[in-house]
């Protein structure tokens, strides 16, 4: 009888020693966290949609037990990506938008920024918002209709659809005072299209200089920027959004996909080759730094303890693929839930 009791206690202790309870463990992986310290790992533990811990495989498997343990077969895991200059076709029907989202999910992209949206496009996207898997960040043109829409609606219309702010071009400079006041009150961004607004940049920057820098004003379309304008922008610490072929880099920047093929990886290749960048730095520009631009750097953008478990498992590795072609997501997870699989 005493032996049975000892065996029973040993069994209980054995179960306790199996580790802390989590929801999922992904292991046998090459995890590129893109965190500030560029940490790498082999396994990741997830609980309640958050990252519990990332570390060596044996350490994670010994420390935690899970309802679901997934062997990813040595594939690379990275934070999900952001296209900071997504392009929309004039047709915004449900069929187009569904295909549009699928194209991004296949690349491991789960967040997009779209600029200079008119009122008609805004209404179409608003109707589509409950069907979205992607997280949309919208910068609207400052028309009377858009301004009124923003006055009446919350900045975040649902969990996946955000009114991020306004886009300023040369044509709507006369509205800048009203736009700045609204942006300050609602904590919105202002994006400046430099191809159109460069000749008025001094006036625009003067209006912005007294406002909180954490609004994170940004500039884009830099292909025709002159030295004087570039120096003014640098002094005011505006955020840079780059496009293909533009080589003036700030310490933190982001970019979007090529308008012709919507491939974030071909765009990444452009930046790596033209600017002689390490691929880790370029990857941060579409993950970590892009989340900073959308005020979500404490929630996602890199893989670290306490952040949302938003990651993509790549079908082919990006770290050993110098051509950066034919890279697809095997599966993509948001808060630990699978939202896309190539199967």
**Contacts of 173 by beta carbon, 8 Å cutoff, 6+ apart:** 197, 200, 203, 204
Q: Under a CB-based contact definition with an 8 Å cutoff, are residues 50 and 68 in contact? A: no
Q: Edge to edge, what strands does the sheet with 43-47 contain? A: 50-55, 43-47, 20-27, 64-71
Residue-wise over 295-308: b if at least 16 C-beta within 10 A, else e? bbeeebbbbbeebb
DSSP 29-61: -EEE---TT--EESEEEEETTEEEEEE-HHHHH
Q: Under a CB-based contact definition with an 8 Å cutoff, are residues 275 and 249 in contact? A: yes
CATH 2.30.40.10-classified regions of the chain: 2-78+303-341
Q: How far does CA 208 lie from the centroid of its chain?
A: 25
Distance CA 36, CA 41 (A): 14
Q: What tens digit of pLDDT does each residue of 69-78 get? A: 999 999 999 9
Q: Under a CB-based contact definition with an 8 Å cutoff, are residues 328 and 316 in contact? A: yes
Q: Which class does domain 2-78+303-341 fall in?
A: mainly beta
Distance CA 136, CA 108 (A): 15
CATH number of 81-293: 3.20.20.140
Distance CA 245, CA 267 (A): 9
- Please report the pLDDT score of residue 12 as a whole number: 44
Q: Under a CB-based contact definition with an 8 Å cutoff, are residues 188 and 154 in contact? A: no
Share of the chain above pLDDT 90, in %: 33
CATH 3.20.20.140-classified regions of the chain: 81-293
- pLDDT value at 291 more than 70: yes
E strand residue ranges, 218-328 = 218-220, 239-242, 253-255, 311-314
How do beta strands 218-220 and 43-47 pair? unpaired
> What are φ and ψ of residue 134, in 5° steps?
-65, 155
Whole-model pTM?
0.86
Comparing 22 with 97, which gets the higher pLDDT?
A: 22
- pLDDT value at 42 more than 80: yes
Band the pLDDT of 3: cuts 50, 70, 90: low
């Amino acid at each position: 009888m005493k032996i049975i009791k000892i065996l029973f206690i040993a069994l209980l202790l054995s179960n306790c020693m199996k580790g802390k309870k989590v929801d999922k463990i992904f292991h046998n992986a090459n995890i590129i966290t893109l965190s500030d310290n560029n940490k790498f790992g082999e396994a990741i533990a997830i609980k309640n949609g958050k990252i519990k811990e990332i570390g060596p495989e044996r350490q994670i498997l010994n420390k935690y037990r899970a309802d679901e343990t997934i062997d990813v077969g040595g594939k690379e895991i990275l934070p999900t990506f952001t296209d900071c200059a997504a392009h929309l076709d004039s047709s915004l029907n449900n069929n187009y938008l569904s295909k549009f989202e699928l194209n991004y999910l296949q690349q491991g992209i789960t967040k997009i920024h779209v600029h200079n949206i008119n009122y008609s496009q805004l209404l179409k996207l608003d109707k589509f918002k409950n069907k979205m898997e992607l997280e949309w960040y919208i910068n609207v043109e400052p028309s009377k209709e858009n301004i009124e829409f923003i006055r009446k609606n919350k900045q975040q219309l649902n969990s996946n659809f955000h009114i991020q702010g306004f886009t300023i071009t040369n044509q709507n400079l006369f509205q800048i005072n009203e736009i700045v006041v609204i942006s300050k009150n609602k904590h919105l961004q202002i994006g400046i299209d430099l191809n159109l607004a460069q000749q008025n940049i001094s006036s625009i920057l003067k209006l912005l200089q007294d406002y909180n820098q954490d609004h994170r004003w940004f500039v884009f379309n830099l292909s025709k920027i002159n030295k004087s304008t570039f120096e003014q922008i640098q002094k005011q610490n505006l955020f840079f959004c780059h496009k293909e072929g533009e080589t003036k880099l700030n310490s933190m920047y982001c970019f979007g996909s090529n308008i012709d093929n919507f491939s974030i990886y071909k765009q990444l290749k452009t930046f790596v080759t033209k600017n002689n960048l390490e691929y880790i730095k370029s990857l941060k520009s579409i993950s970590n730094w892009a989340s900073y631009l959308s005020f979500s750097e404490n929630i996602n953008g890199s893989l670290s303890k306490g952040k949302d478990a938003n990651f993509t498992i790549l079908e082919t590795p990006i770290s050993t693929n110098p051509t950066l072609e034919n890279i697809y997501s095997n599966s993509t997870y948001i808060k630990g839930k699978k939202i896309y699989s190539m199967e």
